[in-house]
Amino acid sequence: MQDVQPPDQQQCVFNTLELIQCIGNSLLPSDLFACVLVSRHWNNSLIPVLWETIDDSKLSWPRIIRQHEEDIQHESRNYIRGVFVKYGSHIRHLCLHWRTTLDAACIGNHCSGLQSLRVAHIRHSQIQQPEYEWMEDLDREEQDEMIALRWELAMEELTGCPFPTRKMPFGRTLAQQELDWSTSKHFWTFIRNNRQLQSLYLHKSLGEFMEDVSLPYLVDTLASLKDLTLLENNYVAIDLDHIFGRLLVLEKYSTAFSPSGSSALIQPSLQLRYARFLNVCTYRELLRILSHAPNLKSLSVGAVSVLGAVTPTEATVIMGKAPSRVTSLKLGAHGHLLNIALDQVFALMPHLTSFTTAWLEPSIAQALSTFCMNVETVHEPKKGPLSSELGHAVQPDTPALDLLLKNCPTLKKFDGIRHVLSGSVWEEPWVCQGLTFLRCQVKGVQRLSSQDQERYSVIATRTEHDTLSEDDVRLVQLHVTSLEQQKKIYRKLATLTQLRVLDLGGEYRRLNKDFQLSDEEYLSVNGPLLGTLELTLESGLGQLETLKTLQVFGFEGVDQRIGQAELEWMARKWAGLKELRGLHDKFPARIEYERRKIELKEHFEVLRPDVKHQGVDYDYGNGVGWL
């Protein structure tokens, strides 16, 4: 018989510091706060966990900061500073959005153990310092001399005067400017005191109230961070060679500035693994980055300009013979690069597996399928609603997606709802049988109009002895043709047996004008996308039972005729289904509810309560995203 531990030994086990902190790391902030009130021992154990991360855009921080700015005497003024004084030694991850918390964090040396610091878009304090009365008694020349003197006094503690003297900005008082000088001084001292920083993000809004730091001082400051592996710099343009030459462990770098001129990468940077340039990059500069960062794995460029184009011979001289190791490439606006430039870019990236672009053209798809034989993911973000008219969408004969399906055997994910599959594509061989994610449009289906569909329903109830008119015969023939065409499409999709996501739709509504309905004011919207699949068992939906691993099925905006029979089939055949996109009850404001859709959703919830229903968040033309 095993001995039972005495109660005091059991209590000792559960009071182990490591065990309590391990549990605390899994708790929500509200639960964690309740735990620190349990006992003195739990308080001492969990306080470091509670204050390990501060993000002043979450929890109660915005409310506290607004109270502070509304009333300068509010107790929150002392509370914000007190947090950093009392708990600053526990903070490891700090994300700042407010000038108030920025000042509180930087003053003193209370917060010197940071591992990551993110200075996001700083919201300016609403508290403005009035001008000194004695400034009004000075003429312009005397005011300039006073500003220079006060600046020197403000910065005298920093050796080397790292901030260049400049005149006071228009509309700023000297009293307010002195606060900004103080922030500048304390901020960079704060950075230097956190030498163990591993991640640093500097937003451009810092330049709106902070003095411009001299580049040598900035580079020296960054170089003092010996453990810095990630730097996102949108604050000031820096010479890339100075950055990578001094920060020897920096692996990830992002900037809003173009890598050109004095900021271009000239010297080798062996440590760089991930690079993101949000601004324009010429083709020549792109080649230099690939050449001087031989270990680069991921590259993101906001735009590639045709300016700076080079000949194949020049490209060979810049790049050498060693191909790039880049596996992930993101291109924004590529400026309609010449085909020869496209070939050169992708020919240098034989290991590319993931590609994202703002506009996937056939020439890019051709270059991908020719030179990047390992590509697995192709993504084209789509913003704004799709058109309800086939003529306003990407034309069906655009072969970008067709080229990938026929020539990229390793393709696993295609996410490009702007692209259309139609026409002869259903009769051509696809080599990407390992595709797991497909989001595109299927169009070009010959469909009966809603009126013809009602008329055909009446014709279908007639007996074989009834005589059909010529119009009736035409409707029957069109219906048969439509079914044959749709069955061919389903048959092709059914061969993609590894699919986990099949999404054939997106937001399609365009808001036009108001009209009255049921004594309520609604917005008039266009109908669903024309020439799309019925998604009925009669049209061949049952062929998709081969998609045994399907988890997400989307048909938002498709001119579907799904009924209860189809939903019951989906519930049975797609056992792994987790999400439907198309039967949600989340409608944009002032748009009439689709009662049929709601009824179908309620029916499917009875069949499969485990399946989530997602919808597209309509934002009136500025972009869409899943709710």
Q: What is the pLDDT of residue 409?
A: 95
Nearest CA to 341 out of 375, 305, 377 is that of: 305
pLDDT computed for residue 39 by the predictor: 82
| H/E segment holding residue 241 | helix 240-246
Which among 535, 529, 527 has a CA at the least distance from the CA of 393?
529
Query: Which range among 118-127, 182-191, 459-468 shows the weakest confidence by mean pLDDT?
Result: 459-468
Tokens standing for residue 582: 């198309």
* pLDDT higher than threshold 50 for residue 589: yes
For residue 165, which of 182, 186, 187, 150 has the smallest C-alpha distance?
150
| Burial (CB count within 10 angstroms: exposed 0-12, middle 13-18, buried 19+), residue 520 | exposed
Give the pLDDT score at 358.
86
**Cβ neighbourhood burial of 26 (10 Å; 0-12, 13-18, 19+):** exposed
Tokens of 491: 């048959």
Supply the pLDDT for residue 212. Answer: 67
Q: List Cα–Cα distances, 360 to 287, 338, 394, in angstroms.
A: 21, 14, 11
pLDDT, residue 299, reads 94
Which of 7-21, 141-155, 454-468 has the lowest average pLDDT?
Answer: 7-21
Rg of the Cα trace of the chain?
A: 31
Count CA atoms within 13 Å of residue 66 on its CB side.
Answer: 5
C-beta separation of 553 from 577 below 8 A: yes
Q: Under a CB-based contact definition with an 8 Å cutoff, are residues 387 and 527 in contact?
A: no
From the list 496, 447, 503, the residue with the least C-alpha distance to 475 is 447
HEC profile for 335-377?
A: CCCCHHHHHHHHHCCCCCCEEEECCCCHHHHHHHHHHCCCCCE
The pair of structure tokens assigned to 275 is: 């690079």
CA dihedral for 381, 384, 385, 387, sign (positive or negative): negative
Write out the E strands in 31-131. Answer: 53-55, 93-98, 116-123
Q: Estimate the crossing angle of helix 61-70 against helix 99-106, to 10 degrees.
A: 90
Instruction: Check whether 32 has a pLDDT greater than 60.
Output: yes
Distance from C-alpha of 495 to C-alpha of 47, rounded to nearest angstrom: 56
43 dihedral zone (left: phi>0; alpha: psi -120 to 50; beta): alpha
- The pLDDT confidence band at residue 397, using thresholds 50, 70 and 90, is very low
Q: Which two tokens stand for residue 521?
A: 């004011």
Chain-wide mean pLDDT for the chain?
80
pLDDT digits (tens, 9 = 90+) for 120-171: 998 876 555 555 555 565 666 766 666 666 666 666 555 544 555 455 554 5
Looking at the chain, the whole-number percentage of residues with pLDDT higher than 70 is 73
H helices of 158-257, in order, are 174-193, 215-223, 240-246
Name the pLDDT band for 28 (thresholds 50, 70, 90). Answer: confident
Q: Which residue has the tokens 């002195």?
A: 178
**Alpha-carbon 382 to chain mean position:** 12
pLDDT value for 151: 62
- Whether 522 contacts 515, CB under 8 Å: yes
Per DSSP (E only), the strands in 166-262 are: 199-202, 230-233, 252-255
Q: Which pLDDT tens digit goes with each residue over 53-106?
A: 999 999 888 888 887 766 655 555 678 888 899 999 999 999 999 988 998 999
Phi and psi at 15, nearest 5°, equal -100, 10
Nearest by Cα to 314 from 287, 281, 343, 349:
287
- Which residue from 278, 412, 419, 437 is spatially nearest to 360, judged by alpha carbons? 419
Residue from 119, 359, 323, 311 nearest 232 by CA: 119
- Evaluate whether 119 touches 102 at the Cβ level (below 8 Å): yes
Q: Which helix (H) or strand (E) holds 474?
A: helix 470-493
User: Are 95 and 52 contacting, i.e. CB atoms less than 8 angstroms apart?
Assistant: no
Looking at residue 18, its pLDDT comes to 72
